Structure 1
Amino acid sequence: MASASALPTTDDEFQSFREEVCLAFGHEILAEGSDATAQLGLLLDWKWSYGDRRLDRLTRDELEEFLLEWCPSKLSAAGAGVAELPYNIAAGVDFLAEEGILRSGDSRARLADHARRLAAAFVEEMDNPANFGMAKSIFASMGVSDPTQLDPEELQRLIDQFNQLPQDQRVAITGGERPGFDRQPVVIGPVVEPSDEAVRASAEKAPVLQGFRAFADYLGPDGKTLTKTGALKLADARELVERLGTGDQLEMTYGDQTYRKRSARDLPELDHWHWWAMETGAIREVRGRLVPVKAWHKRVRDDPSAEARKAAEVLLSYGPAGSYLTRSLTAHPDLVDAAIPMLLSPLLTGPGPLDFAELVAQFRELAASQGELDDPMFDSWSVSRALQMVERAGMIEQSEVVTERTKFDTEIVVSAKITITPLGVVALIDELRRQGIEVETASDLGSSTFDTLVAMINKEAKQPADWWTLVDAWLGALPDRALDSAEVADALAAVPTAIMMLDTTVPEHLRPPYLTVLRRIADRGTPQDPSAAAALTVLVQLDPAEAGRMTVDLRDQLLVTMIAVTGAEAMKGLINAGANRAYELIKVAARFPCPSSESMLALVGERHPDKGVAKAARKELFRLRSKLAAARS
């Protein structure tokens, strides 16, 4: 049987290697020549011809590429017909590891489990026309889901039939627009990015870099000898447990019995440090010894931010829970790993902190929706362990931590406050973007004028909370935290959708200057000015003493503007209010010749179901446009 020491280096050697491995796998599962052996061969073919040719190494990312990208593009088969493929790949990966062929990358347990978990997505992607390669697109267009079932005559008939199609149809089938899934993109932000200096200072304090240094320093220039299985010797493990403060116990006593760990691999925290430092490039194995990487020490001195971000990327790509060799330490680890970045994402746009108990509650809602709800204690433990790893990466900080002892005589976190570090902001943005989530950012606020800031908010912000996060950050970037109310008022009034920014959710410490801005806009405005109406409406809500300023005309003009700005949603309320109320607002819009009145009348004239109301709106719209045209000329 082939082994890692006899891996192929040429195409001819690979063919012999492939045949030997598949034959041995068939013997193992008592199914020689089965689909399972052929599919393991397919994985090896992909790795050799399309991958990096490293047959001794496999990662979860590579499995995803093979199962969710390459197979759907190249295999001409319906998803249901090859639904067992991920499970066969899981068995094949386990076999390769058992035979000593797979020696690096993800562990056999992680790989096999990941392949099985991709089974549903694999079937879905196999049937998604957006993934089809040329051959598969052709067969799909001819109504053939599995061309392997065709005899030569049927195959030739289909090819001839395809070639007789008009050229534009053939182009559309093989390379034109293909229907895909209608997935709405997730957008987070705008996020205020910290300065490079702040990220560097945060990275220098990150526990992960300090831990890697301590690990490498203990190894010394000559390194430490490893066991035959690639583990640290127990004497070295004992010393590193102390230096890193992992809390691993080399001996455990139950009653009158004492059990001693036989391998450093049985020390989960130290084993994780070992794995993490190796994957990040701080240490490496050289001829049976574990040695520090000199270049890493230079890199971390020159650019600690880049090395800390790399360490965070490694952790999050494998998962805070999934990166542990002993996955059973965490309930449903894959779900925990998938959830943590999104659970922490509110820290990017809000001041924080997040409450630990609320995070656990959100996670339990997600687990319930996936049919993986566990005991509350285990879910709390799972989230706590994942957060502990993210904190070790230097991305978050936890304070006000409260723990309690469980019936298993262990401590679990029940309460904590979670804040994000400058390193955490950029690392979390990196991870969310890797997941295909759009993150909008705003940097260099200190050199921005309020005018440019408002333009940015008008373009990007989705919620009032985003607007105030940016305003607060902008004020913090100014040397004297000065807020020029005149500048703010002029900038707000100049933005067409400024009305959407005027909101009562202003942070308490910004309320006094904000009230000053609102009063100035309201004082200098007229009933025809929608910004004045909006400012006055919010001012009255924040300061009831200002209620005397509000008039019926201003309220109605505000409603006209809201209908113009928000469109169909506000139209529903107007329709529900009845025809008489609609006629009243048409008259209000007609009295105030401004763009919002024009937009509102056009909307009502086009969409109101009452024909009389719609006709009245169109009539006033014609008159209003004549007035506006005269004013503009």
Structure 2
Amino acid sequence: MARPILPVPGRTGFGHAGLPVSYPQGTLVVMRMQFGVDDGDAFRERLAELSTGFAAWLDEHDLAGEPTSAELLMQYKWLAADGDLASWPLEQITEFLAEWCPQVMAEHRLPLRLVPLTVVVFAEYLDEQGLLAPTSPRPSAIRRRCTDFADTYDELEAGPVEPLLAEFESPPDPVRIPSPADRARCAAQAPILRDARALARWCGDRGRALTRTGNLRLADARHLVELLGTGDPLDRPAGSRLARSDQLRTLTWVLETAVRAGAVRRDGGRLVAVQRFAELDDTTAHEDLVLAARDEGVLTVLGDRRSDDDEWSGDLIDEGLDGLFDAADEPVDEVERHAIEILQAHLETVTGAGADHDDDQDALPHPADDATPAFLALLRHPADGLEFDTVAELLGLVLGWSEWFRVVDVVPTTTGVLVTRLERLGLVRWDDSEQLPDPGPFEETRRIGGRVVLTSGGIACALLVLAAEGIDFPTRPDPAVATAADVVGLAGEVPPDEWRDDIDAWYAAQPDPARAISAFVTEALDPARPLVVVLTATSVAAERFGSGVVDDLLLEHLDGPHRAQVARRLVGRGLLDPDELEPDLLLHASVDVLAVTIDTIAPDQWPELFAREFPPETAPVFEDLWRLDNPHLGDVLAELGTNHPDEGVAKAARRARMRWQSRTGGA
């Protein structure tokens, strides 16, 4: 029968299923340590006692460990093993760490910090308190078993909590900047630009009178709801009435955005049009409106946006989001922490901070605007966008909405508000969404489902908004207006097929094809270009523009900074006599090519390429190759000696590397 015992320092004799415990005063009590499946209440009582005692013991001895992980270990023992908290067979430790713990933690979004270490420390705690059964493996044996899982749990901790976030662990492909024509066409169709121009026309020559507080008069507000099609509910629920125009949420943010952008202004109690804005081209006017909407807080749907003026953001600019975590008084939710850490991979500087809250526990840091993580995700999919449900799930994780709101419909509804605003700003299309009745008092409808896709203006303005937060997202220019340097610089930055398509589009737009090819080759051989770009760009130039044309241009660069690679190609094409070159030049070129091969090509492709570069008859070359002064020589010889398919060449490479090591000390 269970006997509740509070944790008392100095216990020395707990037993297996129930053994005597002696206190300093000599009192003898019994603590139950084994529980069946029907002993839920007794188990939970003992779990609480042990967890509390373990936490106090950790603090007393200043040890690392997590009482939560110890609780999971005990729950595993009761739910999936034999219920004996005093005995920890190594096979059970293995099952817990290999299978049970990762599954439970992933399902319930729990952190995977220090789990193997906590198992060890908890065993030591049980042993010190006399709670570990004599038949149980000792803490030293448990430590050895847990050490085997250290790397596994490091990987689990480093991996995303949610599969949705996995793509943020790799750098994004550069997004193509829309052409000026596409940008202008999209801006002209943006609802917010039509709103601003319509407001200015509505003001007329004399302007429109405002209330003493600077709001629209109710009659005018009702008219504008219809004129602009904001969709604000004009009919109030029974027992209430529309008292002020700023109760019309969409109309209010549209108006304030137009005011902040300078399309209209308040002047002497009247709303008047501004001539300067009327003279702007559509693209500039649209950008001004989007940035004004951001400053007005439109891109944040819950409370006020986090501005640069927040009281605890100034000193954290250089520290990024890590600084925000350190500044929080309370631990940040682990799911949100991990989500933001993944996004941080391509956040250069974050200038926003968490919103002010009365309760410090709610002060969860997140990007300056709610739209920020949506933009970061959508810019990775500029052509086809993302499912609305995916956007909602992402925002729920990154912004903490999933933790703040336990009602399942709140996150999609809140995301819908944000996407609707982005749609009105002309930044996204929301295709194939469904209308559902909103159970709120105004009998409105809300949208769900479908797909969210950035418009051309949305791509350009999303980059502007991210830049305002100090976030540098990689870009690539429209090939029709790109320079030769721009196009060459995309080598290795975008998928090869897309790069070739961009080269073709760039070349087709050039008024002087011969001059364009010359500019491309010159940029490919620029001294600042890494060798992999030199090799790739010259090869693709010959492929796209013709080998004969490119070879003639390469002859002009034979004495340039990439002389070895130029000479190598010209010799291979029969356009240059190798005997006219300095003796080691082509050997330098071969070593450089193989160094690039090792860095960029999968190892299973090395033997074929090695055999092509150094066929069997070249084995005597290695008698002198070890003397070559090339920074890549040691690595290349090591891989040739291991992976060359011809044993004679491989043996010659190994011998050459030994001589190279003797000459250089391996440096």
For this structure pair, what is the TM-score category when the shorter chain's length is used for normalisation?
0.3 to 0.5
TM-score by length of 2: 0.44
Larger Rg: 2
Structure ranking higher in helix proportion: 1
